[in-house]
Structure 1
Amino acid sequence: MTATTGSDHAQHPAPPGYHDHKADHLARLHRVEGQVRGITRMVDEDRYCIDVLTQISAVTHALHEVALGLLDDHVRHCVLDAAQTEPAAADTKLDEITVALRRALRL
């Protein structure tokens, strides 16, 4: 199984699968960015360890939600499109999903 790493994006001139939800993903990422800054302040202010860990857990969950949204967009746009227009390319897209899930699940 060969996996693409995203570095072959020049071969795919179409917009990414998340294009329709880009604003939503960016909004979530901006919130996460603010949460991380808040955690930095908490550590700088010597806040209670459990409170910091709770916020780290919230950020981790928020990032997982962004990742799941991007994966959903990829399946619904890129994989479905490949399966409908280029069945041979669908295998490559399915391989990409497997690699992405392994990364996300740390397998």
Structure 2
Amino acid sequence: MEEKKVCPGCCHKTKDRPEKEYKDLMNRLSRIEGQVRGVRRMVEEGAYCPDILIQVSAVNAALNSFNKVLLANHIRTCVADDIRDGKDETIDELVTTLQKLMR
């Protein structure tokens, strides 16, 4: 996978994703976006608290699922490629990312 800088002096990396992976991630995000809009509508319409909480739980589950897919793709591609290329610092980056995800 080719990584490039977003802007000069910036530390953010980018990734060119295969079309199938990109479409899958975007579809998942669109569904999550729709779910969040639905929760907002429920609040605006004065829906019963437990009903809203259940929908928020569904949004959280969808976000967790998105994270699992993205993390698996990252490990299979970026991390594996970097390790093969001898870039051991990628392991530290992965550990830091996992620690942040598990907060």
Using the TM superposition, give the Cα deviation of residue 46 of structure 1 relative to its aligned residue in structure 2, in angstroms: 0.6
Q: Which runs of 5+ in 1 are unaligned?
A: 1-5
Deviation at 1:104, TM superposition (A): 1.1
Structure-2 change in CA distance of 1:27 and 1:76 (3 Å)? same
Determine the structure 1 residue equivalent to 2:93. 96
1:8 alignment partner, one of 6, 9, 12: 12
Q: Which amino acid counterpart does residue 98 of structure 2 have in structure 1?
A: L
Rounded to whole Å, the distance in 1 between the matches of 2:33 and 2:12 is: 28
Match of residue 65 from structure 2: 65
Structure 1 match to 2:42:
42
Residue type of the alignment partner of 1:79? V
Supply the distance in 1 between the matched residues of 2:12 and 2:44 (Cα, whole angstroms).
Answer: 41
Identical amino acids, percent of aligned pairs: 39
Give 1 or 2: higher helix fraction.
Answer: 1
Number of residue pairs aligned between Structure 1 and Structure 2: 92
| Other-structure match for 1:53 | 53
Name the TM-score, length of structure 2 as normaliser.
0.82
Residues 48 and 100 from structure 1, CA distance in 2 versus in 1: closer, same or farther, beyond 3 angstroms? same
TM-score by length of 1: 0.79
